[in-house]
Structure 1
Amino acid sequence: MAQYFEVHPENPQQRLLKQAVALLERGEVVAVPTDSSYALACHLDDKDAVDRLRRIRQVDDKHHLTLLCRDLSELANYAKVDNKQYRLLKAATPGPYTFLLEATKEVPRRVSHPQRKTIGLRVPDHAVLSELLALHGAPLLATTLIPPGETQPLNDAQEIRSRFEKLIGAVIDAGACASEPTTVVDLTPVGEGGDPVVVRLGRGPVSVLGL
């Protein structure tokens, strides 16, 4: 049975978020609000939790999971970023964008793409999630909360609770999120002199990136 934490969207109660962090550190998968839609998140270094995350979404190891980072300096610890890539990242973060980049050795091999060795990274612009990441003290591994067989992400915490309460450890309810996923941009070609590739057009406008 999933625990349910109802928090203020701008000034979340730290005692509740600390309880959510404790669940993440015990290997639970938690539904968290973001600046696009709700997402499922877990501890990066917990193999069982990562496997459960994939089972809930019914995606395989070729589906890019995303590291939720507090800021660009943290992101740079987990991705290889050159100057041009950094300028693009700086223009669009924090915000509803996911960037595909080459993973560093800080990223466990089992969570990066098996052939490309890439990982999704993003710096969300959401007060509750930012505070959760600060209390956790490290990035969280996440995926957009799109139910198996469906195409649209969930943005209502009560619905998430009723549909996933036996599969996840907790739901953090900060009110309705947007119901559109992030814009996904592959920045790996930029490192080879190419241009960014828009993989999925979502909530973030690509004009910010000059595309």
Structure 2
Amino acid sequence: MAKILKIYPDNPQENLINEVIKTLNNGGLIIYPSDTVYALGCNIFDIKAMEKLAQLKKIKLEKSQFSIICNDLSHLSDFTRPVETSTFRFLKSHIPGAFTFILDANKSLPLAYKNHKTIGIRVPDHPIPQLIVEKLGHPIASTSIKDDDEVIEYSTDPELIAEKYEHLVDIVIDSGYGDNIASTIVDLTSGEPEIIRQGKGII
């Protein structure tokens, strides 16, 4: 049964954030708010948690395209190949923000990403995921919560999300209503920004 934690962006309680960190370190799945839509997250270094996340999305882990949530650009070199100065400047000017950036992956990716040639990096403009990553000490894997209703596309009400996922995840962070527009996906592998999906972020 998922535990619902009411954590608000303007004053995130440290003890509740610590509870989230403990859950992630123990291989748990969380649902958390971002600057776009609510998302599912887990510890990128916990292969069993990653498998649970893939199972939840009804995909094979090796076929997954889970993005990596960072709290700044300091983790970039951990997972990606060196980028051109112009690309780095572009990233810096759009982070934090409602973007997922596709970059060339290096060979130091966590086990769950071992065959990936590219990786999606995201730095949400929202204090809660930033604080989680900061306290955890490394990024988390993430995927947006889709709604079963094709018209709505994304779930925005944390209470309804908690109801739907109560037996599937360990923690649902209730931070009030979320947005229903996902991040803008920008491919930077060619050196020039190419929009793959137009979302909330405007270039």
| 2:39 paired residue number | 39
Distance 1:136 1:156 in 2: 26
| 1:199 paired residue number | 196
Distance 1:59 1:37 in 2: 20
Q: How many residues align?
A: 200
- SS of equivalent residue, structure 1 residue 119: strand
Contact (CA 8 Å) 2:44, 2:112: kept in 1 or not? no
Contact (CA 8 Å) 1:58, 1:148: kept in 2 or not? no
Q: RMSD of the TM alignment (CA)?
A: 1.7
Note closer, same or farther for the CA distance 1:170–1:119 as it changes in structure 2 (3 Å cut). same
Note closer, same or farther for the CA distance 1:147–1:29 as it changes in structure 2 (3 Å cut). farther
Distance 1:130 1:99 in 2: 17
Task: Give runs of ≥4 in structure 1 deviating > 3 Å.
Answer: 59-63, 147-151
Instruction: Give 1:148 shift.
Output: 6.0
- SS of equivalent residue, structure 1 residue 42: strand
Distance 1:130 1:32 in 2: 11
| 2:6 paired residue number | 6
Within-5 A mapping of 1:110-149: 110-111=112-113, 114=115, 117-147=117-147
Note closer, same or farther for the CA distance 1:149–1:64 as it changes in structure 2 (3 Å cut). farther
- Between 1:127-136 and 1:10-19, the stretch displaced more is 127-136
| 1:156 paired residue number | 157
Instruction: Give 1:88 shift.
Output: 1.4
Contact (CA 8 Å) 1:5, 1:171: kept in 2 or not? yes
Contact (CA 8 Å) 1:11, 1:127: kept in 2 or not? no
2:108 pairs with 106, 124, 129, which one? 106
Give, as a single letter, the amino acid of the residue that structure 1 aligns with 2:189. T
Give, as a single letter, the amino acid of the residue that structure 1 aligns with 2:193. P
TM-score, normalised with respect to structure 1: 0.88
Contact (CA 8 Å) 1:10, 1:128: kept in 2 or not? no
- Between 1:143-152 and 1:21-30, the stretch displaced more is 143-152
| 1:179 paired residue number | 180
Distance 1:76 1:88 in 2: 16
Instruction: Give 1:59 shift.
Output: 3.2
| 1:27 paired residue number | 27
- SS of equivalent residue, structure 2 residue 15: helix
Give, as a single letter, the amino acid of the residue that structure 1 aligns with 2:15. R
TM-score, normalised with respect to structure 2: 0.92
Within-5 A mapping of 1:160-171: 160-171=161-172
Distance 2:17 2:108 in 1: 25
Contact (CA 8 Å) 1:9, 1:175: kept in 2 or not? no
Instruction: Give 1:40 shift.
Output: 0.4
Instruction: Give 1:108 shift.
Output: 2.1
Distance 2:149 2:119 in 1: 23
Q: Which runs of 5+ in 1 are unaligned?
A: 207-211
Note closer, same or farther for the CA distance 1:50–1:66 as it changes in structure 2 (3 Å cut). same
| 2:75 paired residue number | 74
- SS of equivalent residue, structure 1 residue 18: helix
- Between 1:54-63 and 1:41-50, the stretch displaced more is 54-63
